[in-house]
């Protein structure tokens, strides 16, 4: 920057933009836009302070491209004559195409606690009671009890043998023959003899190989978790706990892997891993309680 005697009156460079730049603009006459006229000539008159603090007038003349105008649909032309409303009433023609509204709009989440959708609850009619009245047919597939609980809520669920053991596995010749053997029913690959591969554990429940991730930053969402964990192997589910009232992340989540070994590797690699300024905690999850 050139230095002369006047320079001492000036603010230092670090102060220029913040304090002196824009703030005095309100002293200037408003920007004027004239046209475009029938020849497409548009004039913009603006006022600014120059470096010495003098008010200067800047006139910009441009030709609006006729092509652009011709592209406007009839409807668009018509809309230009609409009366402005709201804050836009005070705007110059063409000064701004969009407005920032300060109007508060309250969004109602239909499933939110306390909202209308919730009001039907609490009238005392549980599913089980409706079932007893014949409205819902609810039979537990694990214990066979009627009208009491769904299979997933069965109190004997964890005592029950895995589904696979209920099905008789065909012997090799029947399975490979397909329809020719036995009753001719389809045998899924997982049920065929020799399907079990040593070292590869079957996925019986969706909640297996579940990894808990804590100390997530507030704006980490499920896609982010997936991106991070999928490098270790097939991920069957990701979940980030969200506060139902505020909608913000509660800072922890779960990732389920198809294969246990992948989950193990993810835990070993990512536990203590810095992510989004935070140190992740990655551990085996204890099974969900419900």
Partner DNA sequence: TATGAGCGA
Residues that bind DNA (CB under 7 A): 111, 138-141, 150-153, 207, 210, 212, 214-216, 218, 239, 241, 244, 250-252, 254, 283, 285-290
Eight-class DSSP state of 181: S
Query: Of 79 and 141, which CB lies nearer to DNA in the complex structure?
Result: 141
Query: Of 71 and 245, which CB lies nearer to DNA in the complex structure?
Result: 245
Shortest separation between residue 210's beta carbon and DNA, angstroms: 4
- SS3 for 169? coil
Query: Of 90 and 121, which CB lies nearer to DNA in the complex structure?
Result: 121
Q: Is the distance from CB of 188 to CB of 169 less than 8 angstroms?
A: no
Query: Of 95 and 279, which CB lies nearer to DNA in the complex structure?
Result: 279
Shortest separation between residue 219's beta carbon and DNA, angstroms: 11
Return the closest-CA partner of residue 61 out of 77, 46, 80, 72: 46
Shortest separation between residue 183's beta carbon and DNA, angstroms: 22
Return the closest-CA partner of residue 169 out of 197, 191, 200, 153: 191
Question: In sequence order, what DSSP letters do the residues of 46-101 get, joined into one string?
Answer: EEEE-TTS-EEEEEEEEEPPHHHHHHS-HHHHHHTTSPP-GGGGGSPTTT-SS---
Shortest separation between residue 105's beta carbon and DNA, angstroms: 23
Query: Of 192 and 212, which CB lies nearer to DNA in the complex structure?
Result: 212
CA angle 96, 100, 102 (to 5 degrees): 145
Shortest separation between residue 44's beta carbon and DNA, angstroms: 49
Give the integer Cα–Cα distance in Å for 185 and 176.
Answer: 12
């Amino acid at each position: 920057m050139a230095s002369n005697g006047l320079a001492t009156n000036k603010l230092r460079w670090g102060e220029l933009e913040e304090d002196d730049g824009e703030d005095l603009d309100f002293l200037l006459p408003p920007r004027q836009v004239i046209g475009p006229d029938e020849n497409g000539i548009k004039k913009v008159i603006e006022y600014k302070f120059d470096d010495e603090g003098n008010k200067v007038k800047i006139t910009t003349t441009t030709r609006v491209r006729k092509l652009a105008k011709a592209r406007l649909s009839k409807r668009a032309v018509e809309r230009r004559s609409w009366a402005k409303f709201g804050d836009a009433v005070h705007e110059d023609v063409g000064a701004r195409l969009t407005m920032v509204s300060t109007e508060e709009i309250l969004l109602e989440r239909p499933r939110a606690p306390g909202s209308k959708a919730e009001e039907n609850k609490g009238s005392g009619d549980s599913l089980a009671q409706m079932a007893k009245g014949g409205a819902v047919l609810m039979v537990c597939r694990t214990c066979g009890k009627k009208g009491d609980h769904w299979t997933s809520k069965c109190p004997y669920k964890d005592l029950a043998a895995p589904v696979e053991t209920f099905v008789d596995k065909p012997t090799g010749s029947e399975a490979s023959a397909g329809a020719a053997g036995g009753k001719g029913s389809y045998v899924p690959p997982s049920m065929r003899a020799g399907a079990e591969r040593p070292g590869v554990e079957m996925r019986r429940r969706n909640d297996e190989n579940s990894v808990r991730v804590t100390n997530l930053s507030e704006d980490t969402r499920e896609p982010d978790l997936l991106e991070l964990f999928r490098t270790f192997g097939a991920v069957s589910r990701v979940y980030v706990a969200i506060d139902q009232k505020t909608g913000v992340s509660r800072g922890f989540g779960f990732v389920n892997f198809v294969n246990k070994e992948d989950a193990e590797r993810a835990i070993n690699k990512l536990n203590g891993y810095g992510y989004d300024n935070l140190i992740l905690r990655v551990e085996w999850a204890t099974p969900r309680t419900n």
